[in-house]
Structure 1
Amino acid sequence: MNAEELLERPDTTSPEAGRVALKFFFNIMELWGCTPAQQRVLLGGIGNTTYHKYKKLPQVRLPHDTLERISYLMGIHKALRILFSNSPDKAYEWVHKANAAPPFNGQSALEYMLHGRVVDLADTRRYLDSVRG
């Protein structure tokens, strides 16, 4: 069972769902080249202690907010993989490139998402979904 399937199942509060979600999160953060500070913001502004605990990929019941954030990141990752199916590296670079389109208005998607609000992740996902059609 993969991370997306676990998060879409009714019991997203299980410790195993938390571990799988964190594994996905840290894998995509490595591909995107995000710093630990950026990762903590994307997870909802978690503290250093919690971040290092999560890095060990424990079986943990993640807060709803954290699961929601990771779910949006999964959707963003999936949309980018579809949009850049012929060039996966470009999918990972896209988050760092300036984008004139709303809601980014000249910022990169990562800069926009680093405002730290769940809606910033949701906006990014909606934008990519609209580009996909």
Structure 2
Amino acid sequence: MQVVAKTRDPAQINAVALKAYARIVDAWALSLKDAAGLADMSDSTWKRAKKPDFAGELTKDQLLRLSAVIGIYKSLELYFSEPLARSWFTRPNAGPLFGGHRPVEMAIEGGLPQILAIRTYLDALRGGA
């Protein structure tokens, strides 16, 4: 029996990731600056990228960031009720990763490693660790 790997079109992957990310940005009510910074894009690139006909390419780092943010969103939606799930990322947090700052600020400042640390932190909370 021969197994055929299904290859995915990178443009399609980018489009799906950007659509999901744009929905999260709206749900969290992120500013243009925060949304762009979190995705490691300029404000003008984010404005173009959130449109359905965006034909630009995402870097591997940007795609990993979007994937991790989607995971953060999912964890928050599973762990908290809606009002807190939607505002948690933009509220000051006294948790060990945040030191009183907003998680979104820490994620932008720390880049992909910090975004992944936040995702791991939330997954541990959700898992009871």
Common topology (TM > 0.5): yes
2:45 is aligned to 50
SS at match of 1:114: helix
Structure 1 residues 96 and 122: CA distance shift in structure 2, 3 A: same
2:108 is aligned to 114
Gaps of 5+ in 1: 1-9
**Alignment of structure 1 residues 57-96 onto 2, 5 Å:** 57=52, 58-84=54-80, 87-96=81-90
SS at match of 1:117: helix
What's the % identity of the aligned pairs? 30
1:4 is aligned to none
Q: State TM-score, norm by structure 2.
A: 0.83
Partners of 2:100 and 2:68 lie apart in 1 by 21
Partners of 1:125 and 1:132 lie apart in 2 by 10
Gaps of 5+ in 2: 1-5
Structure 1 residues 78 and 59: CA distance shift in structure 2, 3 A: same
Partners of 1:64 and 1:16 lie apart in 2 by 14
1:130 and 2:124 aligned: yes
Contact 2:38 2:104 in 1 (8 A): no
